[in-house]
């Protein structure tokens, strides 16, 4: 795809109304050549297809077109709409339309592109490609540009992977969004204010295909490949929702860096008296981990037998719950360090002081769990170390003022946890 390009506006189109034959209007307005690429603003497609909606409340129209809120800041919403596109306001447009009305995107932009292409071919006999374009903002970049939301007769992506560059290097990740580049080029000669909703890109006849092709759908990044699927607050809420207790883990190792990133989130928790009452012991030594779990098991068996009077079978059933700590790829021991706590003669105030530090440690552990969930790791926070703190301190050689506050098992979940039913907020709220 090399050579000189021309980008030509198509002037003289009438105001588009419902039922308009766009293919015929374009064919009449410009002398098309084989291999031309016709870029059509989605707004006139919407008008021709009767996608005009009388709506005094644009927000309600956006709600109706929204499948998923990606990010929200004030009144601005980035959403995934019913066409699968992620964009501002679901593509609902109140410009270039009469007051009290809004334009929705075409119901199926690829189908619209195929229809216009077929009509042009019927009337002119010329094989062209058709793109339906709309204006998008972009992550990381200021300003807007047109992109392709519908396509016919064009491979929308040009995959360079496996080719070599001028220096002989093999290209590993380069995939050019050809359709988006063409849509942006067309927008240079189109414009809302000038009333020129169609452009022709000429000079790339090799890009035009005999078949209609897969349309613009391949341009939409798959969710599993989308590292920016959510805005900040939405990502936090989703990570919190994903934070589930996982008891069966895949064998995949957990990188030490992932644990440390989660600890960095953990130590942002609120704490009393400007203290930092959290410590996290990362059991990266397999032998030290085995020694700890064996010592904890022996202590548990002894206490259940001597203090609680349990028989061997009951003890075995109870201690089997701790096997998940052996199966997990990674293990973290959160500890409370009450350095900086105030001391009171009154026992009640001293107990409250201790509780403040325990609550802070709980907040830190929650941060840890949520951060790990955000990276796709499952966790199980179990209380076992709290019942044999002296054993834990001895085996791990911890200071006497470090109080273990359970253990966190970490790993990739072996299966996707079932969806948790949404809990009604009112059941947990008291208003006075």
The enclosing domain of 401 has a CATH number of 3.40.109.10
Task: Supply 120's token pair.
Answer: 């042009």
Any domain includes 93 = no
Which residues, given as ranges, of the chain have pLDDT below 50?
A: 1
Helix (H) or strand (E) holding 243: none
CA torsion sign for 139, 141, 143, 146 is: negative
- Residue 322, pLDDT score: 83
2-16 CB burial, b ≥16 within 10 A, e <16:
eeeeebebbeebeeb
Domain end position, chosen among 160, 190, 225:
225
Residues 281 and 402 in one domain: yes
Q: Are residues 167 and 251 in the same domain?
A: no
Report which secondary-structure segment, H or E, holds 311.
none
Please count the structural domains in the chain: 2
Quick check: 325 and 286 in contact, CB under 8 A? no
Give, for 334, the enclosing helix (H) or strand (E).
strand 330-337
Same domain, yes or no: 137 and 260: no
- Using the 3D structure, point to which of 193, 225, 257 is the last residue of a domain: 225
Looking at the structure, tell me whether residues 197 and 274 fall in a common domain: no
* pLDDT at residue 13 in the model: 94
- pLDDT score at 75: 80
pLDDT at 2: 57
End-to-end C-alpha distance for the chain, whole angstroms: 69
Supply the pLDDT for residue 393.
97
């Amino acid at each position: 795809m090399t050579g000189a390009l021309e980008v030509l506006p198509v002037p003289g189109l009438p105001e588009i109304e419902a039922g308009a034959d766009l293919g015929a209007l374009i064919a009449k307005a410009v002398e098309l050549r084989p291999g031309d690429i016709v870029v059509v603003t989605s707004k006139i497609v919407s008008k021709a297809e009767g996608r005009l909606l009388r709506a005094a409340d644009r927000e309600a129209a956006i709600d109706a077109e929204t499948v998923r809120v990606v990010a929200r800041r004030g009144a601005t919403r980035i959403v995934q709409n019913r066409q699968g596109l992620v964009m501002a306001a679901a593509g609902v447009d109140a410009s270039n339309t009469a007051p009290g009305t809004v334009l929705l995107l075409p119901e199926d932009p690829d189908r619209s592109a195929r229809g216009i292409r077929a009509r042009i071919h019927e009337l002119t006999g010329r094989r062209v490609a058709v793109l339906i374009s709309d204006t998008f903002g972009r992550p990381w970049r200021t300003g807007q540009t047109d992109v392709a939301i519908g396509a016919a007769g064009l491979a929308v992506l040009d995959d360079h992977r496996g080719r070599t560059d001028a220096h002989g290097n093999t290209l590993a990740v380069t995939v050019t969004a050809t359709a988006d580049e063409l849509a942006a080029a067309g927008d240079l000669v189109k414009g809302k204010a000038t009333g020129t909703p169609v452009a022709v890109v000429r000079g790339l006849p090799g890009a035009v295909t005999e078949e209609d092709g897969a349309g613009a759908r391949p341009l939409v990044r798959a969710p599993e490949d989308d590292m920016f699927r959510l805005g900040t607050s939405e990502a936090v809420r989703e990570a919190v929702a994903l934070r589930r207790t996982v008891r069966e883990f895949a064998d995949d190792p957990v990188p030490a860096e992932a644990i440390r990133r989660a600890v960095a989130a953990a130590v942002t928790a609120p704490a009393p008296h400007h203290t930092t009452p959290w410590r996290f012991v990362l059991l990266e030594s397999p032998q030290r981990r085995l020694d700890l779990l064996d010592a904890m098991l022996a202590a548990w068996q002894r206490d259940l037998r001597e203090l609680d009077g349990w028989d061997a079978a009951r003890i075995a059933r109870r201690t089997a719950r701790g096997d998940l700590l052996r199966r997990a790829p990674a293990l973290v021991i959160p500890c409370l360090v009450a350095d900086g706590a105030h001391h009171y003669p009154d026992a009640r105030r001293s107990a409250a002081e201790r509780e403040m530090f325990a609550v802070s440690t709980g907040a830190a552990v929650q941060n840890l769990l949520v951060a790990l969930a955000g990276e796709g790791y499952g966790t199980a926070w179990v209380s076992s170390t709290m019942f044999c703190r002296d054993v834990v301190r001895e085996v791990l050689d911890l200071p006497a003022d470090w109080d273990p506050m359970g253990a966190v098992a970490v790993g990739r979940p072996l299966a996707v946890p079932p969806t948790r039913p949404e809990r009604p907020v009112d059941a947990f709220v008291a208003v006075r």
